[in-house]
Structure 1
Amino acid sequence: MVLIAIVACETGFWLAVLAGLGARYVLRRRRLGAALLIAAPVIDAVLLTLVTVDLLGGGTASWHHGLAALYIGISVAYGHRMIAWADARVAHLVDKVPLPPKLTGWAYTRACWRDVARTMLAAAIAGGILLALVWLVGDPERTSELDGLFPVLGFLVAIDALWAISYTIWPRRTPAEA
């Protein structure tokens, strides 16, 4: 049930983004587009509610509940950036606005380190949700599956940090340098 809710919410997130961008660029209704884009974070709240109701209703936590927490953390930390990325591409396709230049050198390295901060935020949000679910349920036997997800959050932060470290040591070259 929770896995289906995650898939439905992820689908709903991107449908809200596409509808918002469509309203903004195709229909030329910026306010409607903004309202539809605001629906994307509301979908995260729906997912969090579904997960909480499932566990409070007697459900036993599984990796699906942890995935939901991770999805919400990533959506909150990276959602604005993902929407901005999609917005730039749709503006390019519809209005022929130039795409932002690809980052190289130290600018790309700084962007990688900003992503590390975003990933740390996503992990903190996911970890906070997991802790809150464990506390709300109050039954360690039913929530023990969630304990194994904390090392996964640390692993994700470590991988992103290694990525940034690699570009700190070997900055991305400009096409002319390559």
Structure 2
Amino acid sequence: MDALDHLRDNPVALLVLACEVAFWVFLAAAVVARYVLRRRRLSTVLLLCEPLLEVVLLVATVGDLLRGSEASWTHGLAALYLGFTVAFGRRTVHAVDAWVAHRFFGGPEPVRPPKHGPERVRYEWALWLRVLLAWVVAWAVLGVLLLVASGSGEAAAQQREVLLGWGGRATLVLVAWLVFGPVWETLTPARREEEDRAGAGDQPAKIRR
């Protein structure tokens, strides 16, 4: 079975892919409307379509189970995708908008993340809070799917195992991000700053003419 056949047999997975493609299509159209056509209102309307994609995916995913489909990996994937888009969708839009404005239309350079120090620590904690939001949303969706999933006995147990497995994956990402992100930066800010300074000192001095 090739990828196309697999998607046809898993409509929820196909919808997740369609929502991701539509997200970037709407974003590109909004950027063109704002900077090329100079139509800010149209750009705003196009960006407002982004949250509608999440609503469509949520309704379709829950509706698929209400129609009697068995919960599978595609439903778990949809839950995690919804969590990610809720937490990082607007951030992605702003980042792309700032990059396009700077790269092609003379806008200010996008603010880069701080490299070290207290600012970096605050940045990492703020980023992790977004991951936490994604985790909460994903688990909320998974909870709804667990409630509406049909079946009894072994079939119901298998569906719960599939959905809870995706919740476990989300939790693993949350904990790993916490450890290697904000916790690491909180415990080692001074060492990282010293490494950056040492690296700058190792660079050869420029020859003045």
In structure 2, what is the equivalent of residue 152 of structure 1?
Answer: 169
After superposition, where does 1:88-167 map in structure 2 within 5 Å?
88-102=98-112, 103-105=114-116, 106-139=118-151, 141-142=155-156, 143-144=159-160, 145-162=162-179, 163-167=181-185
- Secondary structure, counterpart of 1:149 in structure 2: helix
Q: Of 146, 153, 168, which residue of structure 1 is paired with 2:186?
A: 168
Q: Higher mean Cα deviation, 3-12 or 137-146?
A: 137-146
CA distance in 2, matches of 1:101, 1:48: 33
Counterpart of 2:119 in structure 1: which amino acid?
A
In structure 1, what is the equivalent of residue 53 of structure 2?
Answer: 43
Q: Is the 8 A contact 1:116 1:164 kept in 2?
A: yes
CA distance in 1, matches of 2:107, 2:115: 21
CA distance in 1, matches of 2:195, 2:111: 12
Residues 104-159 of structure 1, C-alpha deviations (whole Å, 9 max, x = no match) = 22222211111111111111101000101111235463432112122112111111
Change (3 A) 1:176 1:124: closer
Query: Which blocks of at least 5 consecutive residues in structure 1 are unaligned?
Result: none
1:27 is the counterpart of 2:45: no
Residues 40-95 of structure 1, C-alpha deviations (whole Å, 9 max, x = no match) = 11111111111112111111111111110111111011111111100100111232
Q: Higher mean Cα deviation, 53-62 or 136-145?
A: 136-145
CA distance in 2, matches of 1:69, 1:150: 9
In structure 2, what is the equivalent of residue 74 of structure 1?
Answer: 84
Counterpart of 1:156 in structure 2: which amino acid?
V
Q: Once the two structures are aligned, what percentage of the paired residues are identical?
A: 35
In structure 1, what is the equivalent of residue 7 of structure 2?
Answer: none
Counterpart of 1:117 in structure 2: which amino acid?
L
Q: Is the 8 A contact 2:69 2:150 kept in 1?
A: no
> How many pairs align?
178
Shift of 1:176: 6.8
Q: Higher mean Cα deviation, 98-107 or 3-12?
A: 98-107
